[in-house]
Amino acid sequence: MRQAGAVIVAAGRGTRMGTAESKQYLLLDGKPIIVHTLEVFQREPLVSEIVLVTGEQDVERCRQWVSSYGLNKVTKVIPGGSERQDSVYKGLQELAAEWVLVHDGVRPFVTGALIHACCEGAWESGASVLAVPVKDTVKVIDGEGFVSATPDRRSLWAIQTPQAFRRLELIEAHEAARRDGFSGTDDSMLVERRGTRVKIVEGDYSNIKITTPEDLDFAAWIRSGRQRRGEDKHD
């Protein structure tokens, strides 16, 4: 069976949350958010190994959680870099798998089905990202704050993670970006600029990135809804 390794990125401080604790370590239903995320990848048969990239000061407690929660697919917990891009690059060095999934540690509501779909998209096309259609009308503004264009909403998608690539191709894209001084907002941008076509795989609106206090409230609502429907029976 084809498999992929995973880099889970959880090295950010998350100042928009407004808490002393980093957002990925806040509790959701009595368990750190990062543990919820890791457990999904732990259960997915297509995932062969996991590297968790975290803040240097958080490596030891994350290793303890890996042990206490039985997350035996996590082969390494390593300190990240100064930016997310640096952290992903460091994580890629620690994997052996031919294919890699890169995922935000604060997206705990990804599902096995979404991971599977993202992998299949990459295996068929070379690279893939989860995304959902944009619901709102989007405006482009000029330097003075006036509307300069209204893109067709049907062509706009909000990008999520995981994102799946050939590991060596993504490493080469990261190294090219480092040489060029280029900083992307996601890994897909790095391979796109080298001419790789990236397949969009439809995700789910519940696969939120927990960034603000409002997101944490929404996360608790999603979690309780899944529990009522029996979708969290593994937890």
pLDDT at res. 15: 59
The stretch 157-182 carries a mean pLDDT of 98
What does the DSSP assignment read for the chain? ---EEEEEEE----GGG-SSS-GGGSEETTEEHHHHHHHHHHH-TTEEEEEEEE-GGGHHHHHHHHHHTT-TTEEEEEE--SSHHHHHHHHHTT---SEEEEEETT-TT--HHHHHHHHHHHHHHSEEEEEEE--S---EE-TTS-EEE---GGG-EEEEEEEEEEHHHHHHHHHHHHHHT---SSHHHHHHTTT---EEEE--TT-----SHHHHHHHHHHHHHHHHTTTTTT-
Domain boundaries, the chain: 4-228
Output the pTM of the full model: 0.93
CATH code for residues 4-228: 3.90.550.10
Residues 35-82: tens digit of each pLDDT? 999 999 999 999 999 999 999 999 999 999 999 999 999 999 999 999
What digits encode the pLDDT tens for the residues 95-136? 999 999 999 999 999 999 999 999 999 999 999 999 999 999
